[in-house]
Structure 1
Amino acid sequence: MNDKNLHTNNLKGNDDQFFAKGKIVWEKSEADVWADLEKKITVQPEGKSIKLRSRVAKWVAAAVILLLVGLFGVVTSYTKTFNCLPGQHLVVELPDGSKVDLNAGSALKYYPLRWRFERKLKFEGEGYFNVQKGSVFTVESPWGSTQVLGTTFNIYARDEQYRVTCITGSVRVKSYTDETVVLTPNVHVELEDGKLVVKKMFKAEKALSWKNNQFFFENRPLIEVIDEIERQYAVTIRLQPELNNRNFGSNFSKKYNVEEVLDFVCKPMKLKFVKQSENVYLVVEES
């Protein structure tokens, strides 16, 4: 072997050692690497598109939910309220054709958009109900509730006084203490000391006299009588506190003016009334 060959061989050997030292060690094969690159090139844009569509779908779903919640709120909260002012009578016709005659100083509220699914109303005052047949019809008052399917009845619900008279059909009355009774025609119930007291063979015309502008009182507290006169004539009547619980029994017609009616009430009880100003009266004992 000559020196030239020796030099060439040595150089070749040194090169082999250098490149051996600098050789890249692949953890994946070339095919695997290209496969990974292809995935990054093709899948990544598709992933962004899916993510965008997903966000849009979420926004649409959220908007639909908000719309439904809003519509539900409207349906459940929209109400119609009728207030019968002092000195007036008012007839309210409900969506199913049922009618309510409201006495003076009475109020009724119901939910029109719910009515097809739930015949329920809130009531305070005095009213005569003529209910069309159908689903359960519920009248809620602060001191009790009345349920029927189709019937006629009268409710008095004022100042913790609660009275229901069944005229036709049957009526289920429930007090605020969950006591329940079922009334049939000419049966009347009153709330007394938190208990429902039933009176059979009750003369319905007593409860309905107000519809004909007649007012019947049978052993009722004087304050209740005075309150009724106030409502019917839209006046203010002040009563000495010690006279509140005196009982009164009689009747009067609205064809008389307020001073004539006060005279009817005061004289038998040895009372008198004094006119203090326009539409304001004071009832006191005779001196």
Structure 2
Amino acid sequence: MKKNDLLARWLCNDLSEKELAEFEAGPDFEKYQKIKQYTDHLEVDELDENAMLSNILQQKKITPKVIPLYKKWAFRATAIFVLALGITFAMKKFIPETQTANFGERTTFMLPDNSEVVLNSGSEINYKKWNWNNNRRLELEGEAYFKVSKGRRFEVQTNLGKVSVLGTQFNVKARKNRFDVVCYEGRVRVNYANKQLILTHGQSVTFEDGEQFSALVKASKPEWMDNQICFNKENIKSLLDEVQRQYNITIELNAKDTTSLFTGKLPADDLNVALQIISTTYHLEAKKVSENKIIFDEK
């Protein structure tokens, strides 16, 4: 009750300086501020006392019910508080959920239908909980592995293409102008530009700059989930971009040849070994100029 009283008095600007400071330091203050933005326009009409008295005198047979004016703020606060609870519920229900994995991190979470998602470093997913079982659709920026529960069609939308499934396990990666999809179980439908194709267990497809190439996959899940960064015909710039995401570092490249393609794996949990493999492959020398910055120079 004390918490509700403070909330009501805050809505009516009736807190002392000390009470206000304590209230603003509370863990729910940011949420209350958002609620107040939605309810500030609500006003309780001012009472016209003369008109009220005249109306009462004209209705002699009706016993008047007097409402003390000092309770006016309580009525307003109660109405706003009830509305605020409704708005809070609506915000939780309808506003999109966002899951992120920062550089050097991975995030695992469950969707409302118990489908499992693992976000790779530097990735983000947005989806709506409301009516999820009838509209299983989400937006992905970056890379994620999906283990989808059976049900209605499940769609992953990226800025490069769309993947649709019913119940399966697959990996989607959309980075810059490259779109990779790997199917580990079941079947997935891939839409890219004006192309559409079906992938089954162990198949993968890559689209880059309008070109398409496919490959067979023997693994049962993405290599990055086992701390291995896997590359298939990727140039050194794309390779270094991924290393920066996995290790949360900055890399500067001073080399003329940036078009040679790399196919292989790098460890995602041992930076020194990763740098050594890159240096040997491209005939570069890696220099660590600070805790989080690496420079590659030609030998």
**TM-score category, normalised to shorter length:** 0.5 to 0.7
Q: Which runs of 5+ in 1 are unaligned?
A: 1-69
8 Å CA contact 2:93–2:129 kept in 1: the answer is no
User: Higher helix fraction: Structure 1 or Structure 2?
Assistant: 1
8 Å contact from structure 2 (residues 106, 120) kept in 1:
yes
Give the one of 191, 209, 212 matched to 1:193: 209
Match of 1:131 in 2: 148
Between stretches 88-97 and 189-198, larger displacement belongs to 189-198
- Quick one: distance in 1 between partners of 2:162 and 2:93? 20
Q: Is 1:104 matched up with 2:121?
A: yes
Distance 1:193 1:255 in 2: 31
Query: Contact conserved, 2:177 with 2:209, CA < 8 A, in 1?
Result: no
Q: Secondary structure at the match of 1:232?
A: helix
Specify whether residues 267 and 132 from structure 1 end up closer, same or farther in structure 2 by C-alpha distance, changes over 3 A only. Answer: same
Instruction: Please name the residue that 2:83 is paired with.
Output: none
Cα RMSD over matched residues?
Answer: 2.3
Change (3 A) 1:207 1:283: farther
Q: Residues 273 and 166 (structure 1 numbering): CA distance in 2 closer, same or farther, change over 3 Å? A: same
Contact map agreement 1:145 1:174 (CA 8 A) in 2: yes
Q: Deviations over 1:187-230 (max 9, x none)?
A: 1111133254343xx12429711110012224321112111111
- Give the greater-gyration-radius structure (CA): 1
Structure 2 CA distance for aligned equivalents of residues 120 and 126 of structure 1 = 16
Question: What is the one-letter code of the residue matched to 1:210?
Answer: W
Q: TM-score, normalised by structure 2?
A: 0.65
Instruction: Give the aligned length.
Output: 212
Q: 2:202 and 2:273 mapped to 1: Cα distance? A: 32
Confirm whether residue 245 of structure 1 aligns to residue 259 of structure 2: yes
SS in 1 for 2:174: strand
Aligned equivalent of 2:275 = 262
Matched residues in 2 for 1:197 and 1:267: separation? 27
1:1-287 matches, cutoff 5 A: 78-175=95-192, 177-199=193-215, 202-205=216-219, 208-240=222-254, 242-256=256-270, 258-286=271-299
Distance 2:246 2:272 in 1: 13
Decide which moves more: 84-93 or 73-82: 73-82
AA aligned opposite 2:292: N
8 A contact 1:75–1:113 mirrored in 2: no
| Cα 1:207–1:217 shift into 2, 3 Å | farther
Kept after mapping to 1: 8 A contact 2:99/2:124: yes
- Asked if 1 retains the 8 angstrom alpha-carbon contact of 2:184 and 2:221, the reply is no
How much has 1:130 moved relative to structure 2?
0.3
Q: Is the 8 A contact 1:165 1:204 kept in 2?
A: no
Change (3 A) 1:92 1:117: same
What is the DSSP-based 3-state SS (H/G/I as helix, E as strand, rest coil) of the residue aligned with 2:134? coil
What amino acid is aligned across from residue 283 of structure 2 in structure 1? K
Give a deviation string over 1:25-68, Cα, whole Å, max 9, x none: xxxxxxxxxxxxxxxxxxxxxxxxxxxxxxxxxxxxxxxxxxxx
Residues in 1 aligned to 2:264 and 2:246: alpha-carbon distance in whole angstroms: 16
The residue matched to 2:219 in structure 1 has which SS? Answer: helix
In the alignment, structure 2 segments of 5+ residues that lack a partner are 1-86
Go from structure 1 to structure 2 and tell me whether the alpha carbon gap of 1:206 and 1:239 turns closer, same or farther (over 3 Å shift).
farther
